[in-house]
Amino acid sequence: MRYTRRILKSSIDGHFQRIFVRCYASSGLGLWDEILTNEIRRSIERYWKSKISPQVPAKTDGKNHYVLSMFPYPSGALHMGHVRVYSISDSVSRFHKMRGKNVLHPMGWDAFGLPAENAALERKVSPVTWTISNINKMKSQLTQMGCDFHWDREIKTCDPDYYKWTQVLFLKLYKKSLAYQKESFVNWDPVDKTVLADEQVDQNGISWRSGARVEKKLLKQWFIRTTAFASSLYSGLDSPMLKEWRDVIKIQKHWIGPPTGTSLDFPLISSASVSSETPRIISLWTDIPEHIHHVKFIAVSKDNFLSKSSQLPDESSSSKAEPFWKLLDTKVVNPFTSEEIPIFLTNIVEFPRARDNFVGIPGACQASREFATIVKLDYPPIPEDSGDQEKKREEVMAEARKMGIGGYSVSSNLRDWLVSRQRYWGTPIPIIHCKKCGAVPVPEDDLPVVLPEVDNEKFEFQSLKDSPLWLNTACPTCKGPAHRESDTMDTFVDSSWYFLRYTDPHNRQEMFSRVQLDCVAHSREYERALAAQIIMLAPMAPQFASELWSGFCSAKYHLAGDDETLNIDKDVLEQQWPEIDPEYELDLSIIVNGHSLEKIKVRRKILDNLTAEEAARLASESPQYRVFAGDAPIDSFRFHSESGCDGRIYFSIDKKFSKAEITA
C-alpha cells in the first residue's frame, strides 16, 4: 500500500509515540477512504483474519510453552475485562511462537453454578440450554477478536466428558478418606435453597445474592480433608522458588496458620432437653494432643451451637461482660479413654483463634487449672513421664487418624473444605446411599453420573431431589434399593484442575497428561475484587484487613494500579468505599399490604435518584402490581432506599387479597 501522506513517529525515552493523522491510500487493496466507515473496518478485519487466525504449525524442536488464561464464566457477553486479559495472553502466546516454541494457548468455560441456574429458572429454560447459548455467543466474540486460542482443546465443565473426571477425582479422594460426609451447621439461604460460605453473608446475616435472612441449618455435608495437607502447605511456602511471591506468601501463611496443634472429633451425648438439631460430634482443637488422655472438661463460648438452648446472662447493661460459667446437660466422650467429659458454657477462658471451644487439660495447662479451680473440678496430676513427649504426640495423632477422627497437624483456624451444594446445576457427587451397605461409591465404569434431563420449556428443579426417577437406583454392592446422593459439588472443584485437562482434553483413559505450566494470566477484575474485599473487611476486622492490605500493596506489579478509587500509599481504613457500577441493575422490591409482590430491576444510577413519588409510579406500572392491585386506590406509600443498595417500596391500598391471590 502506498501512502500519499506520511505518518509521523517520534521516539521518547525509547518508546514510540504515534501521532495519528488522516491518511489516504492508492487503489492497492481498495480498503481506505477519506471516511473510515464500519463497512471498511469489517473489510480490513476480513482481510487480516486469515493472516492472524490461529494456525496449527508443525511441531518444532523448540521448547514447549503453556500460556494459560483463566477460563471465563459464560455470562453471555464479553466485557472489557475479558478483552484485556485475553489480549495479554494472546500477545504472550504469539511472542513465544515467534521465538520458535511449541505454544499451548487453550480456552474453555467455567460453566456450572448458581447464576446460570437462577437465570434458567427465571426464563423457564433448562440451565444447559441457557449456558450453551451463552458459550456460543462468547466464543463468537472471542473469534471476532482474533485471539490465537487452541479451540480444538476447548472444555466445558458442564460437559459429561469433563465432569466424569471431576467425579473420578472425588472418588480418589473418597477412597483415601480425604473426602467424607458429616453433619455440620451451615449458612442456609431459604430463597436460593443452598448453602452459603461465610463470605457470602453480610454482618447483618443477610445473603449477598438473594437478600434473604440466612438461617443456621444442620445438614449432612461433604467435605474435602484439606487439614491433612496443612503442614506441607505451610512449610511449602518457605520454598526458595517462591521468593518473588513473599507478599502472597504472607497472606497464605496467615490463612493456613502455623500447624501447632490438631483437630479431633469427639462424640456428643445430649440429654432429652437438648434440641434434636444438635450434631452428634463436636470438632475440638488442642495444641497439646500428647495429653489428650487427661482431658477433664470442654469449655464453649456463647457463639457455639451448644449455647443456643441455654439461658445466657444479660450483657447489654454493661460495657464489659461479667465472668460467668454454666454446666451444660450435654457431655462429650473422649474416644481415647471412653470417659464422659463435662461441657461448660463460659466467657472465662481464652479460646483459640477462630474457635468457639476449648479443651481443658488441667494437669498440663495453667489456663485449664485456673478454670477447674473456679468451677471446683477435681483433677489428678499427670504423672511425670521421662519419655519422649514428641513421640507420644505422634502416637496419639496416628491413633486419631486410624480412628478417622482427625489427627493431622493444623492451626486452629483452618477447616476442611465444605464442597456440597443443594442445587441442580453442578457436578453430581458419585455416591449411592444404601440402608444395608451405607455410602457406596459409584463404580468407575459407570461414570459419569449424568444430571437428569429436564424439560427445556419449563425448568423448575431446585435440587436433584426433585427428580425421583434419577434419584432412585440400585446399590452397586448388594443390588438392593438405594438412592443417589442429591447434592452437587461446589464449582471450585470443577475449576481446581481444568488447566490439567487442557493438556489432553480428548483422553478417555485418564484425566490428563503431564506437562509443565509456564505462564498464567488473570485480569484486573480479580485484583480490584480482592482490594474491594479487603476494604469491606476492614471495619469488622481492622487488624487482619491491615495485614492483608499491606501484602496487597507491596506486590511488585498492580493491574489495578491506575484505578482512581484505590490509593496504595494510604492505609486500608482510608480507602474509598467500593462503589457499585452505576449501570448495574439493583432490585426494587414491591410490598403491597404487607405482602411481597415482586422485584423489578432498576439501574443503580436511576434508583439512587428516585423520589418516593417516582418510585411509586414506577412500581405501580409493573405488570404484577396491575394484576394484583387493579384500580384500587392507594392509601399511602413509603419508599426506602440507600445509595448503592436495593430499594423497597411499601404500598397500603384499599383492597383485601384472597389467600389464592397471595400464594399465586
Average pLDDT estimate for 373-379: 92
Give the whole-angstrom CA distance, residue 455 versus residue 107. Answer: 30
Domain assignment of residue 268, yes or no: yes
Of the candidate ranges 91-95, 141-145, 197-201, 459-463, the one whose mean pLDDT is the lowest:
197-201
First to last CA, the chain: 69
**Residue 656, pLDDT score:** 73
pLDDT band at 42 (very low <50, low <70, confident <90, very high): confident
**Residue 625, pLDDT score:** 84
Nearest to 233 by CA among 250, 217, 253: 253
- 32 pLDDT higher than 70: no
**Residue 17, pLDDT score:** 36
Total Cβ atoms within 10 A of residue 150: 17
Nearest to 262 by CA among 131, 414, 387: 414
**Residue 270, pLDDT score:** 78
Between the alpha carbon of residue 656 and those of residues 306, 592, 628, 653, the distances in Å are 44, 10, 10, 8
Cell numbers at residue 399, please? 491413633
Let me know whether 264 and 403 are in one domain: yes
**Residue 485, pLDDT score:** 97
Between the alpha carbon of residue 313 and those of residues 256, 292, 323, 459, 642, the distances in Å are 35, 31, 10, 50, 36
Domain assignment of residue 120, yes or no: no
Cell numbers 483463634 correspond to: 353
- 562 pLDDT higher than 70: no
pLDDT band at 664 (very low <50, low <70, confident <90, very high): low
Let me know whether 365 and 284 are in one domain: yes
Element (H, E) at 546: helix 542-553
Last residue of a domain, one of 513, 547, 574: 574
Let me know whether 335 and 442 are in one domain: no
Element (H, E) at 533: helix 524-537
Give the whole-angstrom CA distance, residue 115 versus residue 422. Answer: 14
Between the alpha carbon of residue 113 and those of residues 78, 157, 326, 434, the distances in Å are 18, 10, 44, 28
Of the candidate ranges 58-67, 385-394, 408-417, 477-486, the one whose mean pLDDT is the lowest:
58-67
- 567 pLDDT higher than 80: no
Of the candidate ranges 140-154, 292-306, 417-431, 563-577, the one whose mean pLDDT is the lowest:
563-577
pLDDT band at 635 (very low <50, low <70, confident <90, very high): confident
Give the whole-angstrom CA distance, residue 391 versus residue 289. Answer: 11
3-state SS assignment for residue 50: helix
Domain assignment of residue 304, yes or no: yes
**Residue 659, pLDDT score:** 53
Domain assignment of residue 2, yes or no: no
Nearest to 159 by CA among 125, 118, 112, 114: 112
Domain assignment of residue 433, yes or no: yes
**Residue 547, pLDDT score:** 79
- Specify the CATH number for the domain of residue 599: 3.10.20.590
Let me know whether 268 and 386 are in one domain: yes
Domain assignment of residue 3, yes or no: no
pLDDT band at 4 (very low <50, low <70, confident <90, very high): very low
Phi-psi bin for 51: left (phi > 0), alpha (psi -120 to 50), beta?
alpha
DSSP string, 457-507: T----SSGGG-HHHHEEE-TTT--EEEE---EE-HHHHTTSHHHHTTSTT-
Average pLDDT estimate for 274-280: 68
Total Cβ atoms within 10 A of residue 393: 18
Let me know whether 395 and 445 are in one domain: no
Nearest to 507 by CA among 168, 64, 93: 168
| pLDDT tens digits along 114-134 | 888 888 888 888 899 999 999
pLDDT band at 2 (very low <50, low <70, confident <90, very high): very low
Let me know whether 553 and 599 are in one domain: no
Domain assignment of residue 52, yes or no: no
pTM above 0.85, yes or no: no
Total Cβ atoms within 10 A of residue 463: 18
Total Cβ atoms within 10 A of residue 524: 17
Average pLDDT estimate for 126-145: 92
**Residue 367, pLDDT score:** 94
Give the whole-angstrom CA distance, residue 76 versus residue 46. Answer: 24
Let me know whether 433 and 391 are in one domain: no
| pLDDT tens digits along 436-479 | 999 999 999 999 999 998 876 666 777 899 899 999 999 999 99
Element (H, E) at 654: none
Nearest to 618 by CA among 609, 593, 210: 609
Average pLDDT estimate for 199-226: 83
Cell numbers at residue 634, please? 392507594
**Residue 463, pLDDT score:** 84
**Residue 526, pLDDT score:** 66
Average pLDDT estimate for 538-563: 72
Give the whole-angstrom CA distance, residue 628 versus residue 204. Answer: 32
3-state SS assignment for residue 596: strand
- As for how many domains the chain has, the answer is 4
pLDDT band at 34 (very low <50, low <70, confident <90, very high): low
**Residue 594, pLDDT score:** 82
- 6 pLDDT higher than 80: no
Give the whole-angstrom CA distance, residue 366 versus residue 630. Answer: 72
Average pLDDT estimate for 600-623: 88
3-state SS assignment for residue 268: strand
**Residue 257, pLDDT score:** 93
Average pLDDT estimate for 644-656: 85
Cell numbers at residue 9, please? 513517529
Domain extent, residue 530, equals 523-574
Total Cβ atoms within 10 A of residue 112: 31
DSSP string, 430-463: -EEEETTTEEEEPPGGG---PPPP--TT----SS
pLDDT band at 215 (very low <50, low <70, confident <90, very high): confident
Using CB atoms within 10 A of its CB, is residue 137 exposed (0-12), middle (13-18) or buried (19+)? middle
Let me know whether 201 and 273 are in one domain: no
Residue type, 151: W
Give the whole-angstrom CA distance, residue 204 versus residue 308. Answer: 18
**Residue 16, pLDDT score:** 37
pLDDT band at 35 (very low <50, low <70, confident <90, very high): confident
Domain assignment of residue 149, yes or no: no
Give the whole-angstrom CA distance, residue 81 versus residue 526. Answer: 9
Contact (CB, 8 A) for 249 and 242: yes
pLDDT band at 276 (very low <50, low <70, confident <90, very high): low
- 31 pLDDT higher than 70: no
pLDDT band at 24 (very low <50, low <70, confident <90, very high): very low
**Residue 14, pLDDT score:** 37
Total Cβ atoms within 10 A of residue 550: 15
Nearest to 177 by CA among 400, 335, 404: 404
DSSP state of 229: G
**Residue 188, pLDDT score:** 85
- 70 pLDDT higher than 80: yes
CB neighbour list of residue 516: distance below 8 Å, 6 or more residues apart: 64, 66
Upstream peptide bond of 448 is cis (omega within 30 degrees of 0): yes
- Specify the CATH number for the domain of residue 405: 3.90.740.10
Q: Report the length, in residues, of the chain.
A: 664
Average pLDDT estimate for 556-576: 70
Let me know whether 293 and 345 are in one domain: yes
Last residue of a domain, one of 352, 379, 409: 409
Let me know whether 558 and 601 are in one domain: no
**Percent above pLDDT 70 for the chain:** 84
Query: Average pLDDT over the chain, rounded to whole?
Result: 83
CB neighbour list of residue 430: distance below 8 Å, 6 or more residues apart: 167, 170, 171, 441, 442, 447, 448, 449, 485
| pLDDT tens digits along 348-364 | 999 999 899 999 999 99
CA geometry: angle at 311 spanning 309 and 316, to 5°? 130
Give the whole-angstrom CA distance, residue 581 versus residue 315. Answer: 41
Give the whole-angstrom CA distance, residue 394 versus residue 409. Answer: 10
| pLDDT tens digits along 570-607 | 888 888 877 777 778 888 998 888 888 888 888 888 88
Let me know whether 270 and 366 are in one domain: yes
Nearest to 413 by CA among 529, 259, 618, 622: 259
Let me know whether 265 and 402 are in one domain: yes
DSSP string, 155-204: EETTSHHHHHHHHHHHHHHHHTT-EEEEEEEEEEETTTTEEE-GGGB-TT
